[in-house]
Amino acid sequence: MSPSPTLGRPVAATRASGPQALRSVLSSCGITKRKLKKLDAIARAHDPDAPRKCAFSARPFVLCGIPIRRPAKHTLEYSRQNGCFRLRVLGHPDYGLPFGQDRLLLIWIASMATWNKSRVIRFRSAASILDTFQLPKDGRYYKRLIAGFERIFYSTFYFASDEQDGEAVVMTRTSFRFVKDLRLWYFNTSDDGVLKDDVPRENLIVLSEEFWREIQEHPIPADLNVVRALADSPGTLDLYVWLTWRSWTAKGRTDIPLFGPEGLISQLGNSENLRERDFRRQIIQCLKIIRQLWPDCPAAVSASGTALVINHGKRSGSPQ
């Protein structure tokens, strides 16, 4: 009888060890890179010694989410309201409204400005953006990236708030282009569609004064590992970033209605035509995923199913 490979000399396939070997085994079991990224983020969330880095979002797009799905053809106006805060976006006829994974660009730009403490963002290639979120460096994602930049650059954003100051109501109206100047060199791709990181010229983004001021005054942090894990799930990412802000600002138990003009359905980037039961189901499913990545998430749907109950909690990604 021939000796068993586990008892005799190990076969070549068993010589590899560490993370690379684990990824190989998971891949052979049908675990996709997307699922592996989420598993890695879950492991980091439960490891108190895992390194953490914060990404940052701009307040207008946390309080009021941009569309999750592509708006209907020729739709060039979009609005959302969160209490006294209102966001209105006007898209360009040639490019349309920002939607879906375009929110990753909003996060990346706000993060780069915050990390570097500058409204001028310089980067070598699209690969550096895709690397930030651990997205594939191929032609499909590159085309999404360029189209997203065009939608954001050519849109106009209106952010308004009516806040109580003693007996007076202070009305604030801000109209701004997200980006003041944008210079992108179109990147090369190889025959198999993979991005070539060999662009000799520097890419440049200059934020508008209004937006740069907004980011400086109200940066909203989130765990970069979680953002990466949810990069392909804009609806869940929307709720996660919203919860990091809302739980931090909550002073105690807060019940946020799910429905109605003051409800969560009017704040996130979901479709306005969702039935109540479908929206409730989506929120419950998103919360299950978020709790895997953020074990201390202090939110749950109420027993009646009509509100999201939030308690004060530390920000996701803060030290354990």
Burial group, residue 43, by CB count within 10 angstroms (0-12, 13-18, 19+): exposed
Per-residue model confidence as pLDDT tens digits over 128-178: 899 999 898 888 888 898 899 899 988 988 888 765 444 443 445 555 566
- Kindly report the number of other CB atoms within 10 A of residue 221's CB atom: 20
Four-CA torsion 308, 311, 312, 314, nearest 10 degrees: -80
The pLDDT value recorded for residue 163 is 57
Question: What pLDDT tens digit does each residue of the chain (320 aa) get?
Answer: 444 443 333 434 444 444 455 556 555 665 666 677 667 777 776 777 777 899 999 999 999 999 999 999 899 999 999 988 889 999 999 999 999 999 999 999 999 999 999 999 998 888 889 999 989 888 888 889 889 989 998 898 888 876 544 444 344 555 556 667 777 665 554 445 454 555 457 888 888 888 898 899 999 999 999 999 999 999 999 999 999 999 999 989 999 999 998 899 999 998 878 899 999 999 999 999 999 999 999 999 999 999 999 998 776 655 44
Per-residue model confidence as pLDDT tens digits over 77-104: 999 999 888 899 999 999 999 999 999 9
The pLDDT value recorded for residue 24 is 62
Q: Is the pTM of this model over 0.95?
A: no
CB 211 within 8 A of CB 205: no
- 144: tokens are 């999404």
